[in-house]
Amino acid sequence: MAKYITPALTLTSNSHDATTNPGPTSSPLNISVSDLIDVTEVRSFVIDVSTTNVQLIDASEIASSVAAGTDGGFLYLRNLTEGLATTADIYIGHGTDGALEGTTTTRLMTLKPGEFSFFGYDLEADLIVDASASVVGALEAMYFVRTGTA
Amino acid sequence: MGVITPTLTLTSKAAGSSPASDAGPLSFAFQLSATDTLSIDQVATKIIDVDGTHEVLWDASDYITTSAAGSKGGFVYVKNITAEGSGRNIMIGTANSGLSDEVDLTATVDAERLFTLQPGEFAFFPWDMTFDLYEDANGSTSNALETWLFVRTGTN
């Protein structure tokens, strides 16, 4: 039986001459999008981070094949360290284990405190996490597995 | 320099909800909301055609000469804007070659394809510009992929 989640994203900004929170363009932006995604499993966890890289998701635990558009899912990540006594930039990599802070093509993204992302993940490689400091309960991750993933 | 505000919500109804077409994957109704303010100094956007050949979507060297975690990069929004039911899947990857091989599901598998967007699906994620972003698709469609790049303040 199909099971659905509804992700919705808005991206807004003021015009560049606004007195409060001026935006990056001459006209205000207002992008709004939503979708309905059929998922079969939800994996959710909050993890500690440190300056030692570790595996965030082992692709082989979820799927044994990687058919584009069939296997995989969507991943929500959020850096929870905003406002804590110790904050950290959190680095996410795609591939084999390794330090992510330096110049490396394994590093996909940096999430600064409070930042989040929502993106597809086809399970072609493992996801790696690394950080600029050690913080307990620093990264929230929720992976929504597409129905049909084998 | 300016500020953008992304807001994401993820919602689902409880499993077993009626009608069945609305049922969620958990035993309870779920709602998650996240918002943030991001300092941005450049915005780029385009709607592109796709076909069965991988092409550069965003070229990192257009924005940086060296990467720096947390201080250089941007945020990418991508949406597959092909018609629902069209079957036109669009793949986003890091490859400078071979992405189409994986799209075509040969035996070669590596870390080049990040994700696949079915019609109507979208993503919003940071991109540290440590590599170029590529797109590929399982066929040809005009005006198929909308993308925006919001460049972090301090990147260039």
Q: Which residues pair with B77 in a beta bridge?
A: B124, B148
Each residue's pLDDT tens digit, A76-90: 999 999 999 999 999
Each residue's pLDDT tens digit, A42-61: 999 999 999 999 999 999 99
Mean pLDDT of A6-19: 96
| CB contact at 8 A, B88 and B141 | yes
pLDDT of residue B19: 83
Mean pLDDT of A96-101: 82
Question: B3 vs A110: CB contact, 8 Å cut-off?
Answer: no
B84 has a pLDDT exceeding 60:
yes
Q: In angstroms, what separates the C-alpha of B141 from chain A's closest C-alpha? A: 17
- pTM for the model stands at 0.93
> CA-CA distance, B14 to B28, in Å (whole number)?
4
Q: How far apart are the first and last CA of chain B?
A: 12
Mean pLDDT of chain A: 93
B155: helix, strand or coil? coil
Q: Which token pair is B29?
A: 């109704």
Q: Pick from A39, A144, A34: which is nearest to B79 by CA?
A: A34
> Domains in chain A and their CATH numbers?
1-35 (no CATH), 39-146 (2.60.120.770)
pLDDT of residue B96: 54
Q: In angstroms, what separates the C-alpha of A58 from chain B's closest C-alpha? A: 13
Question: B36 vs A31: CB contact, 8 Å cut-off?
Answer: no
Mean pLDDT of chain B: 88
Task: Look at A85 and B106; give whichever has higher pLDDT.
Answer: A85
**Which string of b and e fits A13-22 if b means at least 16 CB within 10 Å?**
bbeeeeeeee
A with B: how many residue pairs have Cβ under 8 Å apart?
Answer: 213
> CA-CA distance, A10 to A85, in Å (whole number)?
30
> Domains in chain B and their CATH numbers?
1-36 (no CATH), 37-152 (2.60.120.770)
Task: Look at B18 and B122; give whichever has higher pLDDT.
Answer: B122
Task: Look at A101 and B98; give whichever has higher pLDDT.
Answer: A101
Q: A64: nearest CA in chain B?
A: B109
Strand ranges (E), A14-103: 29-34, 37-49, 54-57, 73-79, 90-94
* Full strand arrangement of the beta sheet holding A107-111: A54-57, A127-131, A90-94, A107-111
* Full strand arrangement of the beta sheet holding B55-58: B55-58, B133-137, B90-93, B113-117
pLDDT bracket for residue B111 (50, 70, 90): low
Q: Sort out which chain B residues have CB atoms less than 8 A from A6's CB and list them.
A: 9-12
Type of residue found at B41 = D
Q: Pick from B40, B13, B39: which is nearest to B24 by CA?
A: B13
DSSP H helices, chain B, are: 99-103
Question: A118 vs B73: CB contact, 8 Å cut-off?
Answer: no
pLDDT of residue B49: 97
Q: Which member of B36, B79, B114 has the closest CB to residue A94? A: B114
Looking up tokens 């992510």 gives A100
Q: Sort out which chain A residues have CB atoms less than 8 A from B102's CB and list them.
A: 66, 68, 124
pLDDT bracket for residue A106 (50, 70, 90): confident
pLDDT of residue B110: 53
